[in-house]
Chains A and B, each alone.
Chain A
Amino acid sequence: MIDRRSLIAALPLLGAAPARAAGPAPCVATRGTGDLGVVIERATGSILIVETTGRSVLARVEGLGDLSHASLCVSRDERYAYVFGRDGGLTKVDLLEARIDKRIVQGGNSIGGAISDDGALVAVSNYEPGGVRVFDAQTLALVADVPAVGPGGLPSKTVGLVDIPGRAFVYALYDAGEIWRLELPKGREPRVTRLAGVGKLPYDANVTADGRHYFAGLFGEDGVAHVDLWKEPLAAARVLEGYGKGEAPLPVYKMPHYEGWGSTQNRLFLPAIGRDELIVIDLDTLKEAGRVKTWGQPVFAVARPDGRHVWVNYAHPKNGVVEVVDALSLEIVRRIEPGPAVLHLEFTPRGHEVWVSARDADAVVVYDTRTFAEVARLPARKPSGIFFTARAHMIGK
């Protein structure tokens, strides 16, 4: 039995060490990785490796660069996390040994990434220089560089990059208003399918857990772009057109995120932009199926893995609150105040607990999702994203 307290006490020492710690290995006992996770400490370029069974911090790994808006994906064996940093850094972290396995700076400014279904390729979405770069998941060697060039030859920021089945990725071009599918068949040239004119300023996107429906939120207009990835030839269509009903949107102090969206049965809960609302889409008809009036402008609306509830956090300055929506009645059933500046939340794989980061409380708070009782509070430095290893086995995560 590992004494967690001694591990935590050893954190400063571990943190000071460079890539490979000189002292005793951080995780000494044989263990699985299915209950591990990573908490991003955005301001200090560090991450915490956590475990969700005993709800504890196992180690801190430092030296990951600028981690504002950082996200990650997980290798198929759930041993490695690929962390995408704002400074273009791609860092492969060994979760068992709590050390950086490899790190490259692949672009000037990146926004996220994804891993292919076979676990062989990691794709990174870039703001600067734009486009998408694909790397070998084992070595981080460059496999493909796909500039995103829209009409008029202008380079475009890429957003909403997701993996879909068949060694392929889908992403949106923010400046150009396009959606691209990038296929990377083994031993053959990469292939791009371009969908132009999907809408103005797609700012984020996501795909349903079956890899079928890709939705991109549009900043420049009242609507959402949709692609049915099961239907060839691919086509993009506008859905929820005019959802704001012509009303002037509220100022948006934090862009909503589609990552981790609330997908339950045949319904999807999307944050409306510039509105204190979630919009519910019926996935069979692609029509609006209802709205949920919320405390503020939603940033993340994440469904508990069983889909029964959707947990929502909010934009500055109303970001000290999390609300829980009943997926059937569309009513708010609970309001929780974990601490100031709630940035992200992540459910345990089957949803018995949820971890919530409260940046300005320097804490991660864990709740029982049945009783809503706080069950743990872990210190973390300005925590933002929380990512558990179970993402390794989910499409689009």
Chain B
Amino acid sequence: MLASLLLTSAASQAARADVDRARLADLVRQDCGSCHGLTLKGGLGRPLTAEALAHFPVETVRDIILDGLPGTPMPPWRPLLSVEEASAIADMLKRGDTK
């Protein structure tokens, strides 16, 4: 009984992580994409391809997502995203894996 409960809980957690990742990937493509381009090759905002971000540490990318870049249109996403979510997005961008 306990084992099956644990299993269920582990399975649902895994499922939740998948859903979140898919949601974040969708957010990157659709909502980041409105300024940075659907393929992240840039628009009003700079390109966010793995190549373009190569010389930025992942923490820097995460912090820009959370706090924005004052004086530019890049907004702080802290009101909408958790630190973990911003880290996951920074990681996805750095790896060029936003599918």
A residues adjacent to B (C-beta < 8 A): 42-43, 66-69, 86-87, 109, 111, 127-128, 157, 159, 174, 201, 203, 219-220, 251-255, 316-317, 341, 359-360, 382
Instruction: Give 15 A-B pairs besides A43-B29, A255-B44 with Cβ atoms closer than 8 angstroms.
Output: A42-B38, A66-B37, A68-B38, A86-B37, A87-B41, A109-B41, A109-B43, A127-B43, A157-B44, A220-B71, A251-B77, A253-B75, A254-B31, A254-B34, A341-B30
- B2 on interface, CB distance cutoff 8 Å: no
- B35 on interface, CB distance cutoff 8 Å: yes
| Docked-complex contact A68 and B34, CB < 8 angstroms | yes
- B80 on interface, CB distance cutoff 8 Å: yes
Task: Evaluate whether A66 and B39 lie within 8 angstroms (CB atoms) in the complex, with A251-B75, A359-B30 already known.
Answer: yes
What are 13 inter-chain pairs, A to B, with CB distance below 8 A?
A68-B34, A68-B43, A69-B37, A86-B38, A109-B37, A109-B42, A219-B73, A251-B68, A251-B75, A253-B77, A254-B31, A255-B34, A359-B30
| Docked-complex contact A203 and B38, CB < 8 angstroms | no
- Inter-chain CA distance A252–B34, complex, in Å, is 12
| Docked-complex contact A255 and B80, CB < 8 angstroms | no
How many chain B residues touch A (CB < 8 A): the figure is 21
| Docked-complex contact B75 and A68, CB < 8 angstroms | no
Q: Which of B30, B41, B79 contacts A251 (CB 8 A)?
A: B79
- Inter-chain CA distance A42–B34, complex, in Å, is 11
| Docked-complex contact B29 and A203, CB < 8 angstroms | no
Query: Nearest chain B CB to A147's CB is how many angstroms away?
Result: 18
Across-interface contacts of B29 in A (CB, < 8 A):
43
B residues adjacent to A (C-beta < 8 A): 29-31, 33-35, 37-39, 41-44, 68, 71, 73, 75-77, 79-80
Across-interface contacts of B39 in A (CB, < 8 A):
66, 68, 86-87
Task: Evaluate whether A317 and B37 lie within 8 angstroms (CB atoms) in the complex, with A251-B75, A254-B31 already known.
Answer: no
Give A316's nearest chain B residue, CB to CB.
Answer: B31
| Docked-complex contact A255 and B35, CB < 8 angstroms | yes
Q: Which of A157, A254, A317, A341 contacts B80 (CB 8 A)?
A: A317
Across-interface contacts of A382 in B (CB, < 8 A):
30
| Docked-complex contact A68 and B37, CB < 8 angstroms | yes
Give B76's nearest chain A residue, CB to CB.
Answer: A251
Give A68's nearest chain B residue, CB to CB.
Answer: B38
Across-interface contacts of A360 in B (CB, < 8 A):
30
Query: Nearest chain A CB to B26's CB is how many angstroms away?
Result: 9
Across-interface contacts of B79 in A (CB, < 8 A):
251
Query: Nearest chain B CB to A103's CB is how many angstroms away?
Result: 18
Give B38's nearest chain A residue, CB to CB.
Answer: A68
Across-interface contacts of A219 in B (CB, < 8 A):
73
Give B43's nearest chain A residue, CB to CB.
Answer: A127
Across-interface contacts of A316 in B (CB, < 8 A):
31, 34
Give B31's nearest chain A residue, CB to CB.
Answer: A316
| Docked-complex contact A127 and B44, CB < 8 angstroms | yes
Query: Nearest chain A CB to B7's CB is how many angstroms away?
Result: 33
- Inter-chain CA distance A159–B73, complex, in Å, is 15
Across-interface contacts of A317 in B (CB, < 8 A):
80
Across-interface contacts of B75 in A (CB, < 8 A):
251-253
- Inter-chain CA distance A219–B43, complex, in Å, is 15
Give A70's nearest chain B residue, CB to CB.
Answer: B38
